[in-house]
Structure 1
């Protein structure tokens, strides 16, 4: 699959990745756009010449993506597996494929392997809930956004922090989030007096830390929280939007995009030709569909 792409791309930077990843200055969208200048002359292949869009994701980050044992609710087979992938990312990937006349192939990879895979040409794209940060835009080009994800906190409904009205009300509480994310690196430090614990290796591990009482609250994005409330009805969502006592984040932190190889303007433009026709309400409606069919514990 797409083996003709230059092997040297595999040696590109593998700096920290994140579902809503590390912060950076400037506009990620602008950085991604400017990086493609003159790329056509370099002969970067689109990767979909064979009519197949190969997409990488964790298949374990509900409601963005998860694995399940059958093809119910439009799930797609996971390559080299007897399982199927579903979730918002799969639904969006299928929509993009249908619009462009491609077949969809899903590859399951660990989080830290996602961007290296698209850099090396092992996969054509990463659709996995990645924020469009300037740091990432130095490694890949972005199509999108394909979702806008605000930052919130989750706590237990019976927690002493359940009535919090702003970040200052969380002072003194213990907290964690997913490793390598802006949730952990940028947002949690904004809570003065928070006792920040070791980062969780994954979103499910982060949620389990809250469920088991290892921490008082976690920081994540709205879609992840909405999915978590399905699996953990004893959680309470803390949304400080509209308050002066809220997280300070930039557009690049909450704009979720699709990673493609640097210079792959053909694929990027094909994806954007579909995404540009969709509104934030369209994205939210599709996410609601994903949450509705998410397996309990997914």
Structure 2
């Protein structure tokens, strides 16, 4: 653990192409490679960019409904490497389908948001399935398979807030707000709100929600799945969806498309993942996300 923590800290500081700065932490993981080892089910793992038939993926395990940690294997949760906890959520559901179709075993590594891009760039893990937007900036640093979800941008406020009746982003003018660090919500969306009192970015999605719940901010900006999960976990919150309004956030396709990132040039792995995702429709994605929201824990461990 200490050795890998040191490695990830170094990666986060030195990877000039990293999407996010900062340090990360995770357990030891299998190296990515192309050894040609035969995976379960007769697949040649190396031909798909996966060593030893084990797809090692990284996620925060703290970003419901995309991913979270829990204390047991209920509802199909899988073990988190070097931990007594289990991972579940939409990302885990997608990962399980990818692995089943390719004859791979699944290994989940828990790490922080800032470590996702540097870790996949260096081969610490094979892929990131963690609710990442397929932005142009990230696509310069990693390759993306997918999308595996299309997530519109929304806001969340308290039901008794003066902003609860907002019909567009102009109605949020002057409010205090935040979003998760190193996301398009914080970097690109909040600045579009006139006179917004933008507070320091939250280190994680749970921290972002807690800032709203405790009254530190008037509203937060996030994507639709995170917002839907929030109003389930916190019944005193209200989702603000300006879709279809002329008074909405300006976004491009990459900011709402969620993808699986792999190391630049790993075409075999990207293609193997795409071969699974291409068989699924937007309705399939939405149905699976609804299932994840329904089983998410009300508070994450």
Structure 1 residue 124 and structure 2 residue 126: aligned? yes
Shift of residue 16, structure 1, vs aligned partner: 3.2
Shift of residue 172, structure 1, vs aligned partner: 1.6
CA distance in 2, matches of 1:112, 1:228: 22
CA distance in 2, matches of 1:84, 1:135: 31
8 Å CA contact retained: 1:13, 1:139: no
Shift of residue 161, structure 1, vs aligned partner: 0.6
Query: TM-score if structure 1 supplies the norm length?
Result: 0.86
CA distance in 2, matches of 1:193, 1:291: 33
SS at match of 2:131: strand
How big is each residue's C-alpha offset from its partner over 1:222-257, in whole Å with a ceiling of 9 and x where there is no partner? 000011111111000000000000000000101000
Change (3 A) 1:16 1:269: closer
SS at match of 1:50: helix
Structural mapping, 1:129-168, within 5 Å: 129-168=131-170
Residue in 1 that maps onto 2:18? 15
CA distance in 2, matches of 1:188, 1:203: 16
Residue in 2 that maps onto 1:52? 54
CA distance in 1, matches of 2:281, 2:222: 23
Change (3 A) 1:296 1:107: same
SS at match of 2:200: coil
Of the three residues 171, 184, 192, the one matched with 2:173 is: 171
CA distance in 2, matches of 1:12, 1:272: 27
Residue in 2 that maps onto 1:285? 287
The runs of at least 4 consecutive aligned structure 1 residues that moved more than 6 Å come to none
CA distance in 1, matches of 2:163, 2:94: 35
CA distance in 2, matches of 1:135, 1:52: 29
Structure 1 residue 273 and structure 2 residue 275: aligned? yes
How big is each residue's C-alpha offset from its partner over 1:49-94, in whole Å with a ceiling of 9 and x where there is no partner? 3111110000011000000000000000000000000000000000
Shift of residue 13, structure 1, vs aligned partner: 3.0
CA distance in 1, matches of 2:226, 2:93: 16
SS at match of 2:97: helix
> 5+ residue gaps in structure 1?
1-9, 19-43
| RMSD after superposition | 1.5
How big is each residue's C-alpha offset from its partner over 1:122-158, in whole Å with a ceiling of 9 and x where there is no partner? 1110000000011111111100000000000000000
How big is each residue's C-alpha offset from its partner over 1:166-186, in whole Å with a ceiling of 9 and x where there is no partner? 111111211111111110111
SS at match of 1:81: coil
Structural mapping, 1:1-298, within 5 Å: 12-17=15-20, 46-298=48-300
**Greater relative contact order (Cα 8 A, min sep 6): structure 1 or 2?**
1
SS at match of 1:163: coil
8 Å CA contact retained: 1:131, 1:252: yes
8 Å CA contact retained: 2:209, 2:230: yes
Shift of residue 46, structure 1, vs aligned partner: 4.8
